[in-house]
Amino acid sequence: MHRVVSETRVLEANERLAARNRQLFGDSGVFVVNLMSAPGAGKTTLLERTIERLRDELRIGVIEGDLMTTIDADRIGALGVPVFQITTGSVCHLDAQMVGRALEQFHPGGLDLLVIENVGNLVCPAEFDLGEDVRVMVWSTLEGADKPRKYPVMFHEAAVVLLNKIDLLPYAGVSLDELRANVRAVNPAAELLPLSCRTGEGLEEWVAWLKAQVIRGRGDGLEAA
Amino acid sequence: MHRVVSETRVLEANERLAARNRQLFGDSGVFVVNLMSAPGAGKTTLLERTIERLRDELRIGVIEGDLMTTIDADRIGALGVPVFQITTGSVCHLDAQMVGRALEQFHPGGLDLLVIENVGNLVCPAEFDLGEDVRVMVWSTLEGADKPRKYPVMFHEAAVVLLNKIDLLPYAGVSLDELRANVRAVNPAAELLPLSCRTGEGLEEWVAWLKAQVIRGRGDGLEAA
């Protein structure tokens, strides 16, 4: 954030717009995930694997946030789910206003689950409520065990931390227990799900967790797996 | 950046302060590297391996930029080189003003090489000139082959792109040639040095490149390796 002096005012304005988005999501009966991570942690691949597993059971839509290019939106669109692209230009995160404008064109009515894939960045996205129901963070085993302490805000705000690329843990120079403990030190309440989008390990647990959240959010008769 | 409307003014002010830093660096005869990457690409480990190889030949100092914690500064300090910590709080990049203030306490006179390790972030650091001589970017093989297209500014501004973690290339689902081509598409002039801080492969080439830059920058009789 370039002008620290104005930060409080910017975040207050964002809260108001996030509340408006949240109202719209609630009225639409859609469960909304704000998906965040560092660049390259595997958000888009996770989303592909998730959509493949859930698209026959849930009506899923995606909002893709990127500085530029529609690479991610094209990948998601290829799976046959509706996707809307927000191009941020030089802005390093999504905010509630960008999402609010997107919702004017990409109405979530009729969806069970809307995933908003944020810009790849461990810092600023965590400060901007988009009106989501839940924040999901992807952390990959090779990013360094110290990241929760160095970037605590995002880890602290996540309801679930997906520990991706566990197939590469032998090269990370650190144990799964240590990675878990480092998340817990910042966020004792976070759900911690190890997985590998490459091998598929752990994906069923994540998909079951997500589906349970959607069902709980709707409070209706959609059957659990 | 949270207030796009004020971006131009902020960057203009930064340019003026960067020019002042650059003057101070020139007067001090120190060569300055701005080291940038996504979180977890391996900047601090690279810096450790670099310092170990050059500390007997060059007088090296380090400025560490981090949101919080002195983890990186402590790692560098343990190698016996002077290190100064800039704690940015919630700010996702260093700027010329932060570095200028640091230089009031941490004067680079007497150093051959000053490395400024920026905040781990692929977006905003690239927009802020710190007064450095050269921008060095670390990109790790597992971050996804599409990153130069998705985050072009940092790749475009780098004089050298260090392609780290090449020992894990078999798990990246992409060839070294493809990674090279993707950088070249954004920055045809960049020096591209593959290496692995874990195995040591490629480190000598990087250290030789850096030492040559320092010698060229000083224009004096320091002997090349």
* Contact assessment for residue A100 and residue A20, using Cβ atoms and an 8 Å cutoff: yes
Q: Tell me whether residues B123 and A127 touch, CB distance under 8 A.
A: no
Q: Tell me whether residues A146 and B71 touch, CB distance under 8 A.
A: yes
- Output the pLDDT for position A32: 98
The pair of structure tokens assigned to A166 is 């566990």
Task: For residue A146, report the phi and psi dihedrals to the nearest 5 degrees.
Answer: -85, 0
Q: Tell me whether residues A1 and B119 touch, CB distance under 8 A.
A: no
Per residue in B76-94, pLDDT (tens digit) is: 999 999 999 999 998 999 9
What is the C-alpha separation between A88 and A94, in angstroms, rounded? 7
* Contact assessment for residue A157 and residue A34, using Cβ atoms and an 8 Å cutoff: no
Answer yes or no: is pLDDT of B54 > 50: yes
- Output the pLDDT for position A106: 96
Contacts of B143 in chain A (CB under 8 A): 39-40
ipTM value for the complex:
0.85
In B, minimum Cα distance to A152 occurs at B68
Closest by CA position to B36, among listed B98, B145, B117: B117
Q: Which residue has the tokens 């191009």?
A: A87
Contacts of B150 in chain A (CB under 8 A): 39, 66-69, 71-72, 120
Q: Tell me whether residues B121 and A1 touch, CB distance under 8 A.
A: no
In A, minimum Cα distance to B4 occurs at A91
* Contact assessment for residue A48 and residue A54, using Cβ atoms and an 8 Å cutoff: no
In A, minimum Cα distance to B70 occurs at A150
What is the C-alpha separation between B127 and B77, in angstroms, rounded? 28
- Output the pLDDT for position B220: 56
Q: Tell me whether residues A10 and B1 touch, CB distance under 8 A.
A: no
Closest by CA position to A94, among listed A144, A49, A145, A43: A43
Q: How far from the centroid of its chain's Cα atoms is residue B102's Cα?
A: 17
CB atoms within 10 A of CB A2: 24
How far does B114 lie from chain A, in Å, by closest CA?
A: 23
Residues A4-218: name the CATH superfamily. P-loop containing nucleotide triphosphate hydrolases (3.40.50.300)
Q: Which of the four pLDDT bands, split at 50, 70 and 90, describes residue A217? A: confident
Per residue in A158-202, pLDDT (tens digit) is: 999 999 999 999 999 999 999 999 999 999 999 999 999 999 999
Does pTM top 0.95 for this prediction?
no
- The domain defined by B4-217 folds into Rossmann fold (3.40.50)
In A, minimum Cα distance to B171 occurs at A168
Q: Tell me whether residues B38 and A67 touch, CB distance under 8 A.
A: no
- Output the pLDDT for position A215: 92
Task: For residue A212, report the phi and psi dihedrals to the nearest 5 degrees.
Answer: -65, -40
DSSP B156-201: HH-SEEEEE-GGGGGGTTS-HHHHHHHHHHH-TT-EEEE--TTT-T
Q: Tell me whether residues A67 and B40 touch, CB distance under 8 A.
A: no
- Output the pLDDT for position A8: 79
How far does A225 lie from chain B, in Å, by closest CA?
A: 32
**Residue type at B48?**
E
In B, minimum Cα distance to A73 occurs at B150
Average pLDDT, rounded, for chain A: 93
Q: Which residues pair with B136 in a beta bridge?
A: B35, B160
What average pLDDT score do residues A100-128 get?
Answer: 96
In A, minimum Cα distance to B10 occurs at A2
Closest by CA position to A50, among listed A164, A171, A148, A219: A164
User: Which residue ranges make up each domain of chain A?
Assistant: 4-218
Contacts of A42 in chain B (CB under 8 A): 144
Per residue in B165-195, pLDDT (tens digit) is: 999 999 999 999 999 999 999 999 999 999 9
Q: Which of the four pLDDT bands, split at 50, 70 and 90, describes residue B199? A: very high
Q: Tell me whether residues B92 and A1 touch, CB distance under 8 A.
A: yes
Contacts of B2 in chain A (CB under 8 A): 1-3, 6-7, 10, 95, 124
How far does A85 lie from chain B, in Å, by closest CA?
A: 13
The pair of structure tokens assigned to A207 is 């998909």
- Output the pLDDT for position B225: 38
What average pLDDT score do residues B143-171 get?
Answer: 96
Contacts of A89 in chain B (CB under 8 A): 4
Q: Which residue has the tokens 């940092």?
A: B154
